[in-house]
Structure 1
Amino acid sequence: MNPTFPPQPVVARESEPTEDNIRALVYAFYDRVQADPMLGPVFEQKLAGRWDEHLPKMCTFWSSIALGQKGYRGNVQQAHQPLLGIEPQHFSRWLYLFLDTVESRYAPAAAVRFMEPALRIAQSLQLSKFGWDYTIPEEQQALLEQLAPRRRKDGDTPDAPPARDEPFPTKIIGRSTKD
C-alpha cells in the first residue's frame, strides 16, 4: 500500500469480525503505531503510561463499529481535538497502517467493515481540524476508490459485480456519485 513501511504479514484471514479477532487487530495495529517513526511520538505524547487503558477502549470502539455493539460511549471528535501538531500526513499514515493491518487479517468483505468507517472517521476529523474547505488528500481519495469496488449492496449475490457508485451510506464531501 505505502512503500515507506513494510506491509503487515498476512495471517489466517478471518471471514467475519469477532471480539477476539478485533482485539488481535487492535493490538497488532497499535504495536505498529508505537513503532512508527511518524505516529509513535504523537501517540506516546498523549498516551504515555496509559496504553493499558487506551487499547481496551479501542477494542470496544471497533467492536461497536464492526459488530454493531453499543459498548463505546466516547466522543471521537472530542477525544481528538486536544492533539497538537497533527497534520494531514499523520492521517494518511494512520490510514495506511490501519488499512494494511485490517487487510492482512480479514477477507475483503469483512475488511470493508473496518475500512469504510476508518475512512469516514478520518475525513470527519480532518474537516473538523483543518476546516470545511479542506481538501481530502489525493492518497485518501485513492483509498476510497480502492474500496468502492469491494462493497456490495444489500441483496447482491456473491456472484454479482460489486456496486460502483458511492461506497458509503453518506455522501463523501468533494466526491459525487457521478465522478
Structure 2
Amino acid sequence: MSIPPRINLTTEQIERVVKVFYAAIRRHEVLGPIFARHVTDWPEHEDKIARFWRNAILYERNYDGNPMRVHMQAGDVEAQHFAPWLALFDETLRRTLPEDLAAAWSALAHRIGAGLRMGVEDLRERRPGPPVLR
C-alpha cells in the first residue's frame, strides 16, 4: 500500500520547478556566488534536490542526504540568506505551477526553510550565556 502524495504534483512538475529555480539562483546577485562555491555539478545537484522534494512531497524513498548538516557545514550560509531563497522559490512556484499547487508547495518550503534557518542561526549566532528560548 502506498502513501498518497502530500501535494498532488507529478515528478515532471517537481523536476521543472527545481530546474527553473536553480537557473534563477545562478543569476541571483547574493545567492548565486554562494551556490557557485559549493555546487560543481549543477545537473547532479538539481537531481539530488529533485529527489529531496519527491521524497518530501510524493514520499519516494530515494533521497538520503542531510540538508541541515550540509547548510551548517557550508560555512558561508547565514540565516539572512533564507528570506531571499524562499522569495525566489515562491516566485518560481507561482510562475511554474497552478496557484493551488504553488501555494501548497510554498507552505511546505517555508516550514522546511524555517527549520534550516533556525539551525544555521543557532550555530552561527551563539551568544554567551543561557540559551534564548523562543
Identify which of 31, 37, 44 aligns with 2:23: 31
Partner residue, 2:109: 118
Which amino acid in structure 1 is aligned with residue 69 of structure 2? Q
Identify which of 71, 74, 78 aligns with 1:80: 71
Q: Deviating runs (4+, > 3 A) in structure 1? A: none
Partner residue, 1:20: 12
Identify which of 49, 61, 83 aligns with 1:58: 49
Identity %: 28
Greater RCO (Cα-Cα under 8 Å, separation 6 or more): 2
- 57-66 vs 108-117, greater mean Cα deviation: 108-117
Identify which of 29, 33, 44 aligns with 2:36: 44
Whole-Å separation in 2 of the counterparts to 1:128 and 1:87: 10
Deviations 1:142-175 (A, max 9, x none): xxxxxxxxxxxxxxxxxxxxxxxxxxxxxxx96x
Whole-Å separation in 2 of the counterparts to 1:46 and 1:85: 10
Whole-Å separation in 1 of the counterparts to 2:102 and 2:64: 23
Count of aligned pairs:
120
Gaps of 5+ in 1: 1-14, 135-172, 175-179
CA RMSD of aligned residues (A): 2.2
Deviations 1:81-100 (A, max 9, x none): 11222233311110000011
Change in 2 beyond 3 A, CA 1:67/1:112: farther
Structure with the higher helix share, 1 or 2: 2
Identify which of 99, 102, 122 aligns with 1:108: 99
Deviations 1:37-78 (A, max 9, x none): 11000000011x221211101111111122222221111211
Normalising by structure 2, report the TM-score: 0.79
Contact 1:17/1:110 (<8 A) preserved: yes
Whole-Å separation in 2 of the counterparts to 1:69 and 1:21: 15
Which amino acid in structure 2 is aligned with residue 101 of structure 1? T
Matched, 1:129 2:120: yes
Whole-Å separation in 1 of the counterparts to 2:79 and 2:71: 14
Whole-Å separation in 1 of the counterparts to 2:53 and 2:13: 11
**Cα deviation, residue 110, structure 1:** 1.4
